[in-house]
Amino acid sequence: MSKKQVATIAVLLLICIGLALFALASNQGSEFGGADGAAEEAISSIDPDYEPWAESLIELPGGETESLLFCLQTAIGAVVIGFGFGYLVARKKYNGKASE
């Protein structure tokens, strides 16, 4: 990898981090709710006496842990997709050179 490519990657990573920090800093005091909370509110408004028939196997210590696990799941998915695309591009590139 050339120095120019490394510098470009570093700048893009810094821009991504900066955008994420800006987004979080500009929404101070906001509550990040998910689909589970919205579904619970909708069910409670329809049937206030509803009792859930299943419980969570693991009770997470806070909302931050749930967000961390979601981000980890997203990162793993991105790595798998990136590896797949990289494999396909490299296979096409090296198969083309082998036939020449």
Cβ–Cβ under 8 Å, residues 44 and 37: no
**Rounded Cα distance, 58 and 72, in Å:** 17
Q: What are the structure tokens assigned to 24, written together?
A: 């979080």
59-69 pLDDT, tens digit per residue, is 777 777 878 88
pLDDT of residue 64: 78
pLDDT of residue 60: 73
Q: How many helices (H) and strands (E) does the chain have?
A: 3, 0
**Rounded Cα distance, 61 and 96, in Å:** 53
Q: What are the structure tokens assigned to 17, written together?
A: 């981090």
Short-list 31, 53, 52, CA closest to 43:
52
pTM above 0.85, yes or no: no
How many other C-beta atoms are found inside a 10 Å radius of the C-beta of residue 67? 13
14-57 pLDDT, tens digit per residue, is 999 999 888 878 877 767 667 777 888 899 899 888 888 888 78
Element of type H or E holding 56? none
